[in-house]
Amino acid sequence: STSSRGLHHLVYEIVDNSVDEALAGYCDHIQVFINPDNSITVIDNGRGIPVGINHKAGLPAVEVVFTVLHAGGKFDNSAYKTSGGLHGVGSSVVNALSTKLTVRVKSGGFIYEDRYERGIPVMDLVDGLLPVVGKTRETGTTINFLPDDTIFDKTRFKEDDVKSRLHETAYLNPKLTIIFEDKRKEEPEKVTYHEPEGIIGFIKDMNHSKETVHDVIFFSGESEGISVEVAFQYVNEFHENVLGFCNNIYNSEGGTHLTGFKTQFTNVINTYAR
Ligand code: TSJ
């Protein structure tokens, strides 16, 4: 969408790639900046997008990620096993919808850089490889992009939307630390999201101003490689709020995960709570 919703989706598409790297076990720190020019910068401390030549495309892998629709998707890349939805495939779309996008990859002792304008690469490759712009002992990926104001109705990011989504991501990924910084303000706003209690903390915060009936109940399990976590708490009001996520993706219509839980929960209550 070219609305504000679509605009914010750009941020989440990019951040989700770093979250995937965290799910894979290689990243525990993500920074998200809204810059004074209203561009977005996302920095992670993962392995760095691979920079080696992709032999099918004859291009650096990172350039394939940014110029080929659906490249790097979970269906053709086992590295994306844990991701869901559009994870790992949205980067070329974000690139096409950005007047400028810069990617910096730190890996193998070097810092590599690539630049695009409205999706088109504008850096000359050096012997078919990305130019090296520095040395480092760190690893990670940095993306900066400026949404195209000829495509989006508005290009001003709402800090509250970005913050609440990042906070939610922190609840769903308890090992992650996500730092948000809004640099548009005279006094830049910086918030750190780290929720080691996971979805238990999510429920606690959701109900912090409500009259609760009991402590948060939590359970988790695994079957055939599928992990499930449930947390819930009854409150003293005639209104329910149930959220379902699958692979970090919120399902606004609930779906079979919630239907299944509710059915089983009713069975348990009917069996044991007479
Ligand atoms: F997709 C993207 F370009 F938008 C993007 C990707 C944006 C950001 C902010 C981060 C990332 C990203 C990708 N962070 N970390 C990674 N990791 C990989 O792409 C990666 C690295 C190594 C290996 C490997 O098998 O060695 C595999 C992958 C998928």
Predicted confidence at residue 82, as pLDDT, reads 47
Reported as a single tens digit per residue, the pLDDT across 108-122 is: 999 999 999 999 999
Distance, CA of 256 to CA of 268 (rounded, Å): 18
Tell me, what's the pLDDT at 72? 59
The finding on whether 18 has its CB within 6 A of some atom of ligand 1 is yes
Distance 173 CA to ligand 1 centre (A): 17
Q: How far is 259 from 236, CA to CA, in rounded Å?
A: 23
Ligand 1 contact via 65 beta carbon (within 6 Å): yes
At residue 69, the pLDDT reads 87
Do 249 and 19 contact (CB within 8 A), yes or no?
no
If you measure from the C-alpha of residue 65 to the centroid of ligand 1, how many angstroms do you get, rounded to a whole number? 9
Contact (Cβ atoms closer than 8 angstroms) between residue 122 and residue 92: no
Report pLDDT digits (tens) over 187-205: 999 999 999 999 999 999 9
For ligand 1, say whether the CB of 147 is within 6 Å of any of its atoms. Answer: no
Question: Residue 1: which of 68, 67, 93 has the closest Cα?
Answer: 93
- Residue numbers in the chain where pLDDT is lower than 70: 71-89, 274
pLDDT on residue 98: 98
Determine the residue of 20, 106, 116, 141 to mutate for testing ligand 1's pocket, defined as the one with the most ligand atoms within 8 A of the Cβ atom: 141
- Please report how the helices 4-23 and 159-172 are oriented relative to each other, as an axis angle in degrees rounded to 10: 30
Listed residue (107, 77, 98, 96) closest to 17, CA to CA? 77
CB atoms within 10 A of CB 47: 18
CA atoms within 13 A on the CB side of 115: 10
- The pLDDT score that the predictor gives to residue 131 is 96
The residue whose CA has the least distance to atom 13 of ligand 1 is 49
3-state SS string for the chain: CCCHHHHHHHHHHHHHHHHHHHHCCCCCEEEEEECCCCCEEEEECCCCCCCCEECCCCEEHHHHHHHCCCCCCCCCCHHHCCCCCCCCCCHHHHHHCEEEEEEEEEECCEEEEEEEECCEECCCCECCECCEEEECCCCEEEEEEEECCCCCCCCCCCHHHHHHHHHHHHHHCCCCEEEEEECCCCCCEEEEECCCCCHHHHHHHHCCCCCECCCCEEEEEEECCEEEEEEECCECCCCCCCCCEECCEECCCCCHHHHHHHHHHHHHHHHHCC
